[in-house]
Structure 1
Amino acid sequence: MENKRIRIFDTTLRDGEQAPGASLNPEEKIRIAKQLARLGVDTIEPGFPISSPGDFHAVQQISRELQTVEICGFARSIKADIDAAVRATQDAAQRRLHLFLSSSDIHLDFQLRKSRQQVVEMARTMVAYAKSRVDRIEFSPMDATRTGEEFLFEVLEAVIAEGATILNIPDTVGYAMPEEYGRMFRRVREGVRGGENVEYSAHCHNDLGLAVANSLSAIAAGVTHVEVTVNGVGERAGNCSLEELVMAIETRKETMGVETGIVTQEIFNTSRMISRIMHFPIAFNKPIVGRNAFQHEAGIHQDGLLKNRNTYEIMDPEKLGIPRSMIILGKHSGRHALKHRVTQFGIDLNTEELEELYIRFKAKADEQKVVTDDQLMELVGSTADGQKEAYTLVQMQVVSSSDRSRMASVTIRNNQTGEEHIYSATGDGPIEAIVNSLKQAIPMPVEFSDMELQSLSTGEKATGEAEVTITVNGQMYKNSSIDQDVLLAVAKAFVSACNQAVRVQKTAVLTKSATS
């Protein structure tokens, strides 16, 4: 039997942007919306048109440029809001209006200060007004999961009678349990007059960590639209996470009997884009897109993964657009993982050399959390004669100033020739100056693609870890380094990534020569 299609409604640019500090300008919204379209979402809610001229412009421009995705205009149950949403989305090839109005007693008493009957009349009048302007109308009784069933039914019957086509029953404050939320949809579908003639959407917040579970429960109850945000960003603890929901469905779709239209290869790129633009870091242990989601340090796990990935991974990170780097070398790692990593560098060690390296590695691993690739190669070099990296950072100086360009000077040793050269450059920031200096030393078209900085300890003697990603001829290389000087950590990680690119290209040339 064919799987039922679940429509992914992305509200990163509206509800997600309401997270404190996540504000976006119109250009950033347009850029993100284009990526969401590449990701394959069905509906984009680009903002709140009445809230500001910038939001109105962003919604309007996205409506004009993205003709293959449904655009949703968001509005309170107020004529001015509806008019703004209609104007902002008028150029969309496909559109809906999303009206909301509080329904719980606590919201009515303390926020709206209106009676239940006044709320029903507002809902009825404004849905009818919106329906005269746009055919697809979504209505949300805000705080539905804390609204009594009798009054909730009354509100929903009123909006259905006036032409609402999609009922969104939101768990606005993340209060519901999965079994409660699923049961609510079943009760509405069975007990509300006209409920069998409309579509249903779920919108869950994550205050109790149940947003994804509640959304899956809603799907099991017949919901066909789920409202999500990338990385789960949003008010308070956030919204249902797009990547978590989609991959739960993708991984268990045969059991659930449902599927989405999401292009999973774009998940990682989209997640990183949102994180960077909103300046919201992703937790290391965040499912699907977190740094540790597909990385393993325990020796038992590493051994199993090297024999068969399915032993400890239920998803293939490469199908999500995540670069493969499953083995992290730390004090829990074993000989199999160590040998695997060294072999990746094109280095073959005999049994005696591997055992010597393992002893040195364990001593180093006890000193710090992980052993970075540049440190590993130093250990290899001291274990096996002649096993050296192509380039070594000998010395670095950086001059910073608050009123002029920063300047960096680096001394690089070419280990093939033994020669040392000094390179200097400037940049708007110290990292840019360092990278511009180092690029001069590497005879390859190196592009600085990405960087992450993490503090590994606290206090005056804190160390920092820099993870640098570069691109050479379209191929990505990533490496990390640890140092008390974070700028030096960046420089060492950059050089290590370049050395990795050199090794890969050298191995490719040798392999080609051997087979030709």
Structure 2
Amino acid sequence: MRQIKIFDTTLRDGEQAPGASLDVEQKIKLAHRLAALGVDTIEPGFPISSPGDFQAVQRISREIEHVEICGFARAVKEDIDAAVRATQDAQRRRLHMFLSSSNIHLDFQLKKTRAEVVELARRMVSYAKSFVNEVEFSPMDATRTGDEFLFEVLEAVIEEGATILNIPDTVGFALPEEYGAMFTRVMKGVRGSDKVEFSAHCHNDLGMAVANSLAAIQAGVTHVEVTVNGIGERAGNCSLEELAMALATRSEHFGITTNIRHEEIYATSQMVSRMTRSPIAFNKPIIGRNAFQHEAGIHQDGLLKNRNTYEIMDPERLGIPRSMIVLGKHSGRHALRHRVAEFGVTLDNEQLDQLYTTFKEKADIQKTVHDHELMQMAGQAVDRALEPYTLNDVQIVTGNAMHRVASCEIQDHRTGKVEIYTGSGEGPVEAVVDAIRRAIPEPIEFADLELYSVSSGETSAGEANVTVRLDQKLYTGTATNRDILIAAAEAYMAACNRAVRDVRLDSSLEQTPVHTLG
């Protein structure tokens, strides 16, 4: 199978997304994660743009081994000098230079003629070549340039020693058939094209960045430039995870392989989302929350019988925690019985009917029924508590000139005791977590919190999604409430209950002392 090299520009083009700015330490952490993911090239930043970016590129060049490091530069001597200095300690390095080529860019941005652009491209590629062996050249806005001038620029930089030609769809304008055909024409019509490699760089303004990149691969490119989660300018770039999984899932069609380690995709995606403060859309392919979840009863029934009925990828191979069944008003009895069985609970037909009736009433009101709510309803059906702990009440005192204080009434169903725990923190969520943590002996770490609005208006509800860590494993809890702080408390309690259930394998719910709900 032909291998495609993955060029990751999350730390450069991805960071150019509004609000996604990263500091030096964040870039270094992400660079190590990208290396673990298996990318071939990392573009860590734009060295001339700021002292912080220069430092980040320099440190990444020194710390990251076995991955090519790319310095980014305009066709300007000072840019090239900065990129060369920043990457000088890399085991392998590349210099990536760009220069506008379309008429609209030349007329309104560069204010240069075509002849001046060709001459500038020649001089700057020649200058860069005196420092580094691998020089990548990008004619910016290539897909709106026209073949005649595009060919002229590319032939000029090949003559001066460019080794990789990147033909970018800078504004996401191209259609897949157009983009693939452009590479075909370039490879056939540009003198010296047999001496260089080709790279694709696609933006997603019309939602076709991945499709265009796949078209370029089919046309013969050997490098594809991507970002994690598809972040980047405007609508973003070609999504690394979508491209990698399209090639892997349809390998019989493409005949292409990459060095991407699929099991590292989810962890990398989550880290990029947190550090860039860029939430992932629920319906985002591969790594969106709904990508491997199903609510419809027909789909749930098929999945429980054979996962391949409705899933073309295995989420666990991507490092995604398995949670394929979402319980809502479209769910059936089969899914309910399956879910409670996952928690070690067996229901007879009468108990299942009672649970199903209660469940449907709840689902009609709030759309999705979360696991801790289901366990409460199932507990009523079997007349015993099924969760290790129950959060009976939460009181929070907050204000703008004081530490926040939380008081939580929690029942331990192993002992039957009900106690009140208090906690404090600079924020109300921190105070709630501090209080609940005091009730649980296991060393559970708070890992992540996501908050969403699930309706609109002054009576809107909020959804909290909390992730905790215990013994290097992650557990998630979700809750919905009109009070977002209560939602966060209930979600944290649900996540902790999941973790506690998992580690108490020698004390299953059937073996623990039974305390009735009454």
Q: TM-score range by the shorter chain?
A: over 0.9
Deviations 1:167-192 (A, max 9, x none): 00000000111011001111111111
Aligned partner of 2:126 among 121, 125, 128: 128
For residues 474 and 509 of structure 1, what CA distance do their matches in structure 2 show? 21
Deviations 1:437-461 (A, max 9, x none): 1111112121112222111111111
Q: CA deviation at 1:511?
A: 11
Q: Which runs of 5+ in 1 are unaligned?
A: none
After the TM superposition, which residues 104-123 of structure 1 pair with which residues of structure 2 at under 5 Å, given as runs? 104-123=102-121
Mean Cα displacement is larger for which, 442-451 or 41-50?
A: 442-451
What's 1:325 paired with? 323
What's 2:234 paired with? 236
What's 2:221 paired with? 223
After the TM superposition, which residues 353-432 of structure 1 pair with which residues of structure 2 at under 5 Å, given as runs? 353-432=351-430
Q: CA deviation at 1:473?
A: 2.6
For residues 179 and 54 of structure 1, what CA distance do their matches in structure 2 show? 40
What's 1:344 paired with? 342
Aligned partner of 1:474 among 472, 475, 496: 472
Q: CA deviation at 1:469?
A: 1.8
Q: CA deviation at 1:388?
A: 3.6
For residues 504 and 449 of structure 1, what CA distance do their matches in structure 2 show? 17
- Quick check: 1:446 aligned with 2:444? yes
After the TM superposition, which residues 454-473 of structure 1 pair with which residues of structure 2 at under 5 Å, given as runs? 454-473=452-471
The amino acid across from 2:289 in the alignment is: R
For residues 361 and 117 of structure 2, what CA distance do their matches in structure 1 show? 69
What's 1:301 paired with? 299
Q: CA deviation at 1:512?
A: 13
Kept in 1: contact 2:263–2:316 (CA 8 A) = yes
Q: CA deviation at 1:491?
A: 1.2
Query: What TM-score do you get using the length of structure 2 for normalisation?
Result: 0.96
The amino acid across from 1:4 in the alignment is: R
Are the structure 2 counterparts of residues 508 and 329 from structure 1 closer, same or farther at C-alpha, using a change threshold of 3 Å?
farther
**SS of equivalent to 2:95:** strand
The amino acid across from 2:219 in the alignment is: A
Q: CA deviation at 1:353?
A: 0.7
For residues 161 and 455 of structure 1, what CA distance do their matches in structure 2 show? 56
The amino acid across from 1:170 in the alignment is: P
For residues 286 and 137 of structure 2, what CA distance do their matches in structure 1 show? 31
Kept in 1: contact 2:386–2:509 (CA 8 A) = no
The amino acid across from 2:389 in the alignment is: Y
The amino acid across from 1:105 in the alignment is: N
What's 2:173 paired with? 175
Kept in 2: contact 1:100–1:142 (CA 8 A) = yes
What's 1:497 paired with? 495
Kept in 2: contact 1:345–1:500 (CA 8 A) = no
The amino acid across from 1:120 in the alignment is: V
Kept in 2: contact 1:42–1:70 (CA 8 A) = yes
Kept in 1: contact 2:376–2:385 (CA 8 A) = no
Mean Cα displacement is larger for which, 473-482 or 354-363?
A: 473-482
What's 2:516 paired with? none
For residues 438 and 78 of structure 2, what CA distance do their matches in structure 1 show? 58
Kept in 2: contact 1:347–1:387 (CA 8 A) = no
What's 1:201 paired with? 199
What's 1:283 paired with? 281
For residues 173 and 144 of structure 2, what CA distance do their matches in structure 1 show? 8
What's 1:27 paired with? 25
Q: Which runs of 5+ in 2 are unaligned?
A: 512-518
What's 1:261 paired with? 259
- Percent identity, aligned pairs only, is 66
Kept in 2: contact 1:14–1:46 (CA 8 A) = yes
Q: CA deviation at 1:381?
A: 2.0
**SS of equivalent to 2:294:** coil
For residues 131 and 502 of structure 1, what CA distance do their matches in structure 2 show? 59
Kept in 1: contact 2:267–2:319 (CA 8 A) = yes
For residues 39 and 238 of structure 2, what CA distance do their matches in structure 1 show? 14
What's 2:514 paired with? none
Q: CA deviation at 1:23?
A: 1.1
**SS of equivalent to 1:503:** helix
The amino acid across from 1:240 in the alignment is: C
The amino acid across from 2:186 in the alignment is: V
**SS of equivalent to 1:314:** coil
The amino acid across from 1:366 in the alignment is: D
Kept in 2: contact 1:16–1:234 (CA 8 A) = yes
Mean Cα displacement is larger for which, 493-502 or 204-213?
A: 493-502
Kept in 2: contact 1:19–1:238 (CA 8 A) = yes
Q: CA deviation at 1:477?
A: 2.1
What's 1:101 paired with? 99
What's 1:151 paired with? 149
**Alignment RMSD (CA, Å):** 1.5
**SS of equivalent to 2:405:** strand
**SS of equivalent to 1:410:** strand
What's 2:74 paired with? 76
Q: CA deviation at 1:331?
A: 0.3
Are the structure 2 counterparts of residues 443 and 204 from structure 1 closer, same or farther at C-alpha, using a change threshold of 3 Å?
same
Mean Cα displacement is larger for which, 464-473 or 178-187?
A: 464-473
**SS of equivalent to 1:441:** coil
The amino acid across from 2:207 in the alignment is: G
For residues 201 and 355 of structure 2, what CA distance do their matches in structure 1 show? 53
For residues 461 and 421 of structure 1, what CA distance do their matches in structure 2 show? 32
For residues 34 and 466 of structure 1, what CA distance do their matches in structure 2 show? 30
Q: CA deviation at 1:422?
A: 1.3
Query: What TM-score do you get using the length of structure 1 for normalisation?
Result: 0.97
Kept in 1: contact 2:385–2:413 (CA 8 A) = no
Kept in 2: contact 1:346–1:507 (CA 8 A) = no
What's 1:313 paired with? 311
Aligned partner of 1:139 among 133, 137, 159: 137
Are the structure 2 counterparts of residues 510 and 400 from structure 1 closer, same or farther at C-alpha, using a change threshold of 3 Å?
closer
Q: CA deviation at 1:24?
A: 1.2
